[in-house]
Copies of this chain bind each other. A is one copy, B any other.
Amino acid sequence: MEKKSSNTKNSRKISQKANLEENRFKMVKERHRKTFEEALAKGKMDEKLVNFCKYVSSTRNYFTSSCCSGRILLLRIEGNDRDKRNCHFHRKWHDIVSLSEVLAGINEDTKGRIWFKVEPFILHLGCKDLENAKKILEVMKLAGIKRGGIIVAKEGKFMVEFMGTQEMSFLAKEDDAILVDKGYLENAVNEANRKMTVNEEMLIRLEKEVRKKLK
C-alpha cells in the first residue's frame, strides 16, 4: 500500500508540473500574441513576415518573438563597434534598393565609418517543450536553413532562433572620404539585391514548410 500511495503522489506531482508548464506556456504565448497584434496595428511589423507570424500565432503550440526579414543597411559607427551604442542605422531597407538611394545616404555629411551591410533574416519561434522545439528544427532543415538552434530550454518555454546566410559587409566611407567609386557601389548594390532576393525565397520556402508541419 505504501508503494501505491507514493506512486499516486508521484503521478500527482507529475501532472501538477505538466499543468504548471502548460499554464506558463499559455501565458507566454498570449503575451507574444499581444505584442504582435500591437506591432501590426501600429504598422511596425516587417511586411514580409506578417502572414508568417499570423499563421504561427494561430497554431496551438507555437508563437513568434522578435523577427527580422533581412535588410540592407548603411551602418554608421563612431568609435569601437563592439559597443552597440556606437552603431547607428544611417539607412535601413527591408527590400531591394536602388543605387541612387544608397548614394544619397553615402553622400550625406557624416562622421565616423559607414559600413554597407546585408543582413539575412533572423527569426525567433517559441514553443512549450523539447518535442515541439525539435519539430521546429526539422522544419528548418526541410526549408534548407542551415543556421539556428534551440537557444532557451526552460520548462514551459523553449525558443528556437534561426537565420539565413545571405551576408555582405564592407567599409564604404570614413569621415568625409568615400572609399569606393560609383561603379563599385553599383556592383555591390546588384549583389546585395540578389542576396535579398535569395533571402526572400528562403523565407517563402520556410513559410510553406511551417504551414505544413507546425500546428
Question: Hey, which bits of chain A sit against chain B, CB under 8 A?
Answer: 3-4, 7, 82, 130, 133-134, 137, 148-153, 160-161, 167-171, 174, 179-180, 184, 187-188, 191, 198
Contact = CB atoms under 8 A, between A and B. Distances in A.
Contact of A169 (B134, B151, B169): B169
Nearest to A158: B150
Which of A3, A133, A153: most chain B CB closer than 10 A?
A: A153
Nearest to A198: B82
A184 to B, nearest CB: 6
Contacts of A152: 137
Number of this chain's copies in the assembly equals 2
Contacts of A188: 170-171
Contacts of A149: 148-151, 160-161
A179 B180 CA distance: 9
A67 to B, nearest CB: 16
B191 A184 contact: no
A141 to B, nearest CB: 10
B167 A187 contact: no
14 contacts: A3-B3, A3-B4, A3-B7, A130-B130, A130-B153, A149-B150, A149-B160, A150-B151, A150-B153, A169-B169, A171-B187, A179-B184, A179-B187, A180-B184
A169 B167 contact: yes
Given A148-B149, A169-B170, 8 more contacts: A3-B4, A130-B130, A134-B153, A148-B151, A149-B149, A149-B160, A150-B150, A167-B169
Which of A151, A187, A188, A191: most chain B CB closer than 10 A?
A: A151
A153 B168 contact: no
Nearest to A149: B149
A7 B150 CA distance: 34
Contact of A151 (B130, B137, B198): B137
A158 to B, nearest CB: 9
A194 B149 CA distance: 28
A7 B160 CA distance: 36
A118 to B, nearest CB: 8
